[in-house]
Amino acid sequence: MGRLPRAKVDGVRTPQPGAPAEDPDIPEGTACLIPTPRASTHRLVAEIPVGLGPEGAVIDAARRRLYVTCSRSHELTVVDLDSLEPLGTIAVGREPTDVALDQGRRRMFVCDLLGSTITVIDLQTGEPVQTVDVPGYPSSVVFDPTQGLVYCGCAGGSAVAVIDSDTLELLETIPAGFGAGGIIYDDDRQRVYCANFLADTVTVIDAEQRRPLATLEVGRAPCAMTINPATASAYLVNSASDTVTRIDLDSGEVVQEIRVGRGPVGVGVSADGRRIYAGNRAEGTISVVGAHDHQEWSRIPVGEAPAGFAVDPVTGYVFVSNAGSNTVSVIEDLLTGPVAAAEPVPHPLVGQPLPQFALPDLRTESLRHSLEWSERKFILHFFASW
Amino acid sequence: MWEGTGAAKESAEYCARWGLEGTVLLDETAEYARRLGVRGVPTNVFVDDAGIVRTLGASTFEDLLAAACQLEPRLEDDSDVLGADRMPGDFD
């Protein structure tokens, strides 16, 4: 496993719940805990530096480890859940975007978007043991503990790849929709749900028969999904509609669409199942949604371009990977109900002159100055680089 | 506008993958994005012909359309552009 530099201190450490006031294992000047006034909505516990372009995250609570896929440095960052320190990295395939755990076999499965592979990692050694070829652009992966299978949404093949967790063989591909990606598994009902980013649909799959059962219409550009057993619901973020879709797992039908922040691409559920989190990639916040009243309770600022979620069942801390700032925000959610929304405030730049720029052009490599666009109406589009 | 480490390589791959043409500016350090207060993507900055920012944000189709109409009021009268059956891809 590669090594990462330890986090730098930006302030005084905040003691963690249950931890001694002074922790001799964390040398002076290297801890990453950020003191934040105890607000009524949340507490920022830490901001952990990770690799480049962090996206998916998974927690191995038993071993007290967080694994984060770093899409632009082609590795996983391993974090100690108790000290909240990065421990090192594990090299994987090109552009890893998601990760799933098989606790029984002590394996981890990472989907490599541009490598079109699944990298299999031995949890004991922290070393890759094998790669499995799958259809193009695998972006999301989930483990089925009942059948010992791994499902992976593959946009290139518009399909769900099925891998045997014992033999590590690709068993088959199940047809899904255009842009197949975000995927979840409902163990109680033996169903797989796959979000089809380019079709604005979700494919429902019978996991036992390995065949599609239904197609659900959802919002625009659906991305990640999660399951909340407490409400027998699945949740899906629609990145171009700024909404969360709730699917009733008993009926298999869409029952609700909930407004959240701008550009939601990640979704998670709190340890107690009472809250849903949406990572609003376009505005650097997470939306907290009540799992029973289906309202947005609050919006919490995190790092730039938040993506994946993981929740520590021991502490209840919410881990948010920030693809733009190459960090993981650790949040203690203190909400008990909806907080009155503040009046929307226009961005401070609206009504002001655009700051001038001089930036290189990708195609000509020449420096382009904002004066070139003077006296013209134009749009600067910051696109999906984070 | 493409921000972040390896901007040239990554944006070139992205444009090739999705068949995107047009000007792409590279903000390798993301300094310009941060100067504008951009916290994520996609983010659109609408600038009028006096160089004034009119909208910053706008990621859904409806928000984009509203921002475009504010910038160019003639669009509101253009039923072909604003037809209910039109989708974002139709503008390509």
- The first and second tokens of residue A109, run together, are 């499965």
Q: Which residues of A touch B2 (CB under 8 A)?
A: 362, 383, 385
Q: Which residues of B touch A52 (CB under 8 A)?
A: 4-5
Q: Give me the residue label for tokens 């255009």.
A: A178
Minimal Cα–Cα distance from A19 to chain B, Å?
33
| Tens-digit pLDDT profile for residues A167-200 | 999 999 999 999 999 999 999 999 999 999 999 9
The band of B6, judged by pLDDT with boundaries at 50, 70 and 90, is: confident
- The first and second tokens of residue A319, run together, are 């881990």
Minimal Cα–Cα distance from A240 to chain B, Å?
5
Asked if A176 contacts A158 with a C-beta cutoff of 8 angstroms, the reply is: yes
Would you say residue A29 has pLDDT above 60? Answer: no
What single letter denotes the amino acid at residue A373? Answer: W
Name the residue in chain B with its Cα closest to that of A357: B32
Name the residue in chain B with its Cα closest to that of A349: B53
Asked if A379 contacts B25 with a C-beta cutoff of 8 angstroms, the reply is: no
Minimal Cα–Cα distance from A320 to chain B, Å?
14
Mean pLDDT, to the nearest integer, of A13-40? Answer: 35
Name the residue in chain B with its Cα closest to that of A371: B51
How big is the CA angle at A102 (ends A97 and A106), to the nearest 5 degrees? 110
Task: Find the CB nearest B5 among A72, A263, A357.
Answer: A72
The band of A3, judged by pLDDT with boundaries at 50, 70 and 90, is: low
Q: Quote the pLDDT of residue A155.
A: 95
Q: Which residues of B touch A377 (CB under 8 A)?
A: 46-49, 71-72
Would you say residue A252 has pLDDT above 50? Answer: yes
CB pairs below 8 Å between A and B: how many? 165
pTM: 0.86
Would you say residue A384 has pLDDT above 80? Answer: no
Whole-angstrom CA distances from B62 to A4, A98, A236, A382, B82 are 43, 30, 20, 18, 10
Q: Which of A54-68, A202-216, B12-26 has the lowest mean pLDDT?
A: B12-26
Residue A149 is inside which H or E element, if any?
Answer: strand A149-154
Would you say residue A118 has pLDDT above 90? Answer: yes
Q: Is the dihedral of CA B12, A197, A90, A25 positive or negative?
A: positive
Would you say residue A149 has pLDDT above 70? Answer: yes
Q: Which of A113-117, A230-234, B84-88 has the lowest mean pLDDT?
A: B84-88
The band of B10, judged by pLDDT with boundaries at 50, 70 and 90, is: confident
- Cβ burial of A70 (10 Å; 0-12, 13-18, 19+) is buried
| A243-248 β-sheet, strand order | A222-228, A233-238, A243-248, A253-259
Q: How far apart are the first and last CA of chain A?
A: 25
Would you say residue A37 has pLDDT above 60? Answer: no
Strand partners for A186: A191
- CB atoms B40 and A351 under 8 Å: no
Q: Which residue has the higher pLDDT, A119 or A1?
A: A119
Q: Quote the pLDDT of residue B4.
A: 80
Q: Which residues of B touch A327 (CB under 8 A)?
A: none
CA distance B69 to A23: 58
Q: Give me the residue label for tokens 């043991």.
A: A129
The closest of A202, A206, A199, A249 to A221, measured between CA atoms, is A199
Interface of A with B in 43-102 (CB under 8 A): 52-53, 72
Asked if A149 contacts A132 with a C-beta cutoff of 8 angstroms, the reply is: no
ipTM of the complex: 0.86
- CB atoms A241 and B60 under 8 Å: yes
Relative to beta strand B2-3, strand B26-27 is: parallel
| Tens-digit pLDDT profile for residues B19-37 | 989 999 999 888 999 999 9
| Tens-digit pLDDT profile for residues B31-84 | 999 999 998 888 999 999 999 999 999 888 899 999 999 999 888 776 555 554
Q: Quote the pLDDT of residue B80.
A: 57
What single letter denotes the amino acid at residue A132? Answer: V
Give the max Cα distance, chain B.
42
Q: What are phi and psi of A156, to 5 degrees?
A: -60, -40
| Tens-digit pLDDT profile for residues A287-345 | 999 999 999 999 999 999 998 999 999 999 999 999 999 999 999 999 989 987 767 78
The closest of A380, A382, A155 to A262, measured between CA atoms, is A382
- CB atoms A347 and B33 under 8 Å: no
CA distance A16 to A240: 38
Q: Quote the pLDDT of residue B74.
A: 86
Would you say residue A48 has pLDDT above 90? Answer: yes
Asked if A303 contacts A322 with a C-beta cutoff of 8 angstroms, the reply is: yes
Task: Find the CB nearest B40 among A283, A350, A363.
Answer: A283
Q: Which of A4-13, A256-265, A283-292, B80-89 has the lowest mean pLDDT?
A: A4-13
The band of A165, judged by pLDDT with boundaries at 50, 70 and 90, is: very high
- B contact test, residue of A379, A382, A386 with most B CBs within 10 A: A382
Task: Find the CB nearest B51 among A242, A374, A381.
Answer: A374
Name the residue in chain A with its Cα closest to that of B18: A384
- As a whole number, the mean pLDDT across chain A is 90
- CB atoms A385 and B3 under 8 Å: yes
- The first and second tokens of residue B66, run together, are 């509203």
- CB atoms B11 and A352 under 8 Å: no
